Structure 1
Amino acid sequence: MVVKIGIIKSGNIGTSPVLDLLLDERADRPNIDVRVVGSGAKMNPEQVEEVTPKINDFDPDFVIFISPNPGAPGPAKAREILSAGDKPALIIGDAPGLRAKDEMDEQGLGYIIVKADPMIGARREFLDPTEMASFNSDVIKVLALTGAYRVVQDTIDKMVEECEAGNVPELPKVVLTRDKAIEAAQFTSPYAKAKAMAAYDIATKVADIDVEGCFMVQDCDKYIPIVASAHEMLAAAAKLATEAREIEKSNDTVVRTPHMGDGATCCKIPLMDKP
């Protein structure tokens, strides 16, 4: 059986660019077929209302909607549409989505809230396309190397397995904390683990500082260095996450979880071992 997964991307968080790639990293996984529709950078209700129903043309076995702040008006409209549909739906969002957690429970939606997927410093005086891309590359580095993306991968893979077994997939309710991410990364060195923990916590704090700089402070002489400091923090977090992986590499203890020829997930550690 080929499990069909529909992904709707609205706006952007650090998990968005790689979400579909996490499920098929070599583009040869035989048991899934994925389609992506999106509203680009904007996530207003009108864009979301136009895009969300388009995924039904693919007739997916389940749907994933990913955006910043699932409680914002646009994502809330998507949740309304998906909860009224007949397809199981999973919402992936950042920390502000915690405020919509109870609503998602009531709507019968699953969710993954990635706490260390921070808001960007979206002030015109500071943020240009280069800074935006650099920020997102640092987020991707932190989430990949601290184990957060592995939690996302494993959670969706379980839904795929349930569909393959002929069942309606159980909808996950995951708040992706530091400890959940680090556990999934399976660090063997306590120093690597400590660096990864620090990276995840710093990335989580970045969101609070960018919210302050983007919404709470109105004096540009004050908010420009605030958002710049948040981006510097994230760069430091990416460096710590890289250092954690380098420690594991030096010990030949990096855990890899590739998808196999039948679509199942394997686990291997020594670099020269076959999966």
Structure 2
Amino acid sequence: MVVKIGIVKSGNIGASPVLELLLDERADRPNIDVRVFTSGAKMNPEQVEDVVPKVKDFDPDFVMFSSPNPTAPGPAKARELLSEMDVPAFIIGDAPGKRAKDEMDEQGIGYIIVEADSMIGARREWLDPTEMSVFNSDLIKVLACTGAYRLIQNTIDGVIAQADAGEEIELPKLVINAQKAVDAAGFTSPYAKAKAYAAYEMCAKVADLDMKGCFMMKNYEEFLPVVAAAHEMASAAAQLATEAREIEKANDTVLRTPHMSDGSTGKKVNLISKPE
């Protein structure tokens, strides 16, 4: 059986650029077929209403919707539309999504909330395409090296396994905090784990500064240092996350979990070895 997965992206978070790639990193996984539908950078209700229904034409076994702030008007509209479809669906979002957990439960929608997937400093005086790209590269580094992506991979792979077996899909209800992320990373060095934990928590706090700079301050002379500080924090977190992985590399204990030829997940630790 080939499991058909629909992914809808509206706006962008750190998980969005690599979401489908986490499931098929070598583009040779035989048991899944993925389609991505996107409204681009915009996430207003009108864009969401246009793009979400298109996923049903693919006849997916389940749908993922990736967006910032699942409580915002556009993502809230998406949740409404998904709840009306006769298709299992779950949201992948950032920390504000925790406020909508009960509502998502009532809608019959699952969720994966990534606390460290922080809001960007979206001020015109600060953010240009280059700065946006640098910030997202820092987030990607943190989410990858701290184990958050692996936990997302493992969670979605669990859903795929249920669909592949013809079982009723149990939708994820997961909030990824620092402890859950670093546990999934499989660190053997306590120093590496500590650095990764710090990196994750730092990125989780980036949103507080960007929220302040973007919505609570009006004078550019006041908010520019705040959003700049938030991006510097993300950069420092990425460096810490890299250091954590370098410790594991030096010890030859980097955990790798590639997808195997039958679609299952393999595992290896030592560099000169084969996954099992």
| TM-score of the pair, normalised by structure 1 | 0.99
Q: Tell me which residue corresponds to 1:200.
A: 200
Q: Tell me which residue corresponds to 1:73.
A: 73
Q: Tell me which residue corresponds to 1:25.
A: 25
How many positions carry a matched residue from both structures? 275
Does the alignment pair 1:219 with 2:219? yes
* 1:73 CA drift (Å): 0.3
Q: Tell me which residue corresponds to 1:107.
A: 107
Query: 1 CA distance for matches of 2:116 and 2:89?
Result: 22
Tell me, what secondary structure is at the counterpart of 1:77?
Answer: helix
Question: Which letter maps to 2:66?
Answer: I
* 1:229 CA drift (Å): 0.3
Q: Which runs of 4+ in 1 moved over 2 A?
A: none
Q: Tell me which residue corresponds to 1:152.
A: 152
Query: 1 CA distance for matches of 2:163 and 2:99?
Result: 30
Q: Deviations over 1:66-118 (max 9, x none)?
A: 00000100001110000011000010000011111110010000000000000
Query: 1 CA distance for matches of 2:191 and 2:100?
Result: 36
* 1:168 CA drift (Å): 2.1
Query: 1 CA distance for matches of 2:105 and 2:160?
Result: 21
* 1:167 CA drift (Å): 1.2
* 1:4 CA drift (Å): 0.3
Question: Which letter maps to 1:61?
Answer: D
Q: Tell me which residue corresponds to 1:39.
A: 39
Tell me, what secondary structure is at the counterpart of 1:122?
Answer: coil
Tell me, what secondary structure is at the counterpart of 1:256?
Answer: coil
1:126-141 superposed matches below 5 A? 126-141=126-141
1:157-172 superposed matches below 5 A? 157-172=157-172
Q: Tell me which residue corresponds to 2:191.
A: 191
Q: Deviations over 1:4-56 (max 9, x none)?
A: 00000000000000000000000000000000000000000000000000001
Question: Which letter maps to 2:157?
Answer: D
Question: Which letter maps to 1:86?
Answer: D
Q: Tell me which residue corresponds to 1:50.
A: 50
Q: Tell me which residue corresponds to 1:271.
A: 271
Query: 2 CA distance for matches of 1:217 and 1:99?
Result: 24
* 1:212 CA drift (Å): 0.4
Query: 2 CA distance for matches of 1:190 and 1:222?
Result: 39
Query: 2 CA distance for matches of 1:169 and 1:25?
Result: 23
Tell me, what secondary structure is at the counterpart of 1:127?
Answer: coil
Q: Tell me which residue corresponds to 2:176.
A: 176
Q: Deviations over 1:183-206 (max 9, x none)?
A: 000100111011001100000000
Identity of aligned residues (%): 72
* 1:169 CA drift (Å): 1.0
Structure 2: gaps (5+ residues):
none
Tell me, what secondary structure is at the counterpart of 1:29?
Answer: coil
Q: Deviations over 1:197-219 (max 9, x none)?
A: 11000000001110000001112
Q: Tell me which residue corresponds to 1:247.
A: 247
Tell me, what secondary structure is at the counterpart of 1:132?
Answer: helix
Question: Which letter maps to 1:106?
Answer: E
Q: Tell me which residue corresponds to 1:85.
A: 85
* 1:238 CA drift (Å): 0.2
Query: 2 CA distance for matches of 1:238 and 1:41?
Result: 24
Question: Which letter maps to 2:186?
Answer: Q
